[in-house]
Amino acid sequence: MTNSRVNRRKFLAAGLILPAFGIPRLGYCATRISRQLSFYHTHTGDTLDVVYREGNDYLPDALVNIDYFLRDFRTGESHPIDPLLLDQLHDIRTALATTSRFEIISGYRSPKTNAMLRSRSGSVAKRSLHMQGRALDIRLTEVLTKNLQSAALELQSGGVGYYPTSNFVHIDTGRIRRW
């Protein structure tokens, strides 16, 4: 057997063994695609630009920053936001081929805030997914709200509500439905 063939076998075998020791194979870094989101909160004036995911890994520090950013602005309470909701936002932005930032109208809602809003409007659900960190009311700068709604519906990854009078779209990680 020639030296080049032995070296080739060792090289190929190393590609199978290295991951077992936590050492990435060649090409591993190429699959580590970052997911980034930009936000503006309409009630607080806060902005956030954040990479929240690298490849299949959610970044814990980024998630903490997002949880705080999407806090109940009335009470100051924050709650873990469902990372799948962030993926929906990313997928919507990708589908619309834009890098525009999301305007947040409502993120997490404490039970107290939800009860207050419910007493003022029949369109607020008693068991709103906002209280579980699984819903957002959003706009996307530079994108018509109707187009935002269409992109969210096409994803078929949760509930989508369209509020043309108030100019926002509700998305959540609940069952697929629309209103």
- Amino acid 32: pLDDT: 78
Q: For 137-178, how does the pLDDT look when each residue is reduced to its tens digit (9 = 90+)?
A: 999 989 999 999 999 999 999 999 999 999 999 999 999 999
Q: What residues contact 41, with CB distance under 8 A and at least 6 apart?
A: 47, 69, 70, 73, 103, 104, 107
33-178 classified as CATH 3.30.1380.10: yes
Joined together, the tokens standing for residue 170 give 């509700």
User: What's the pTM?
Assistant: 0.80
Q: What is the mean pLDDT of residues 102-127?
A: 92
- Amino acid 122: pLDDT: 76
- Amino acid 31: pLDDT: 63
Joined together, the tokens standing for residue 135 give 């819903």
pLDDT greater than 60 at residue 3: no
Name residue, tokens 């873990």.
80
**What stretch of H or E contains 171?**
strand 168-172
- Identify how many contiguous H helices and E strands the chain contains and give both numbers: 5, 8
Q: What residues contact 32, with CB distance under 8 A and at least 6 apart?
A: 54, 55
For helices 145-155 and 83-95, the axis angle rounded to 10 degrees is 120
| Cβ contact 173:134 at 8 Å | yes
Domain ranges of the chain: 1-31, 33-178
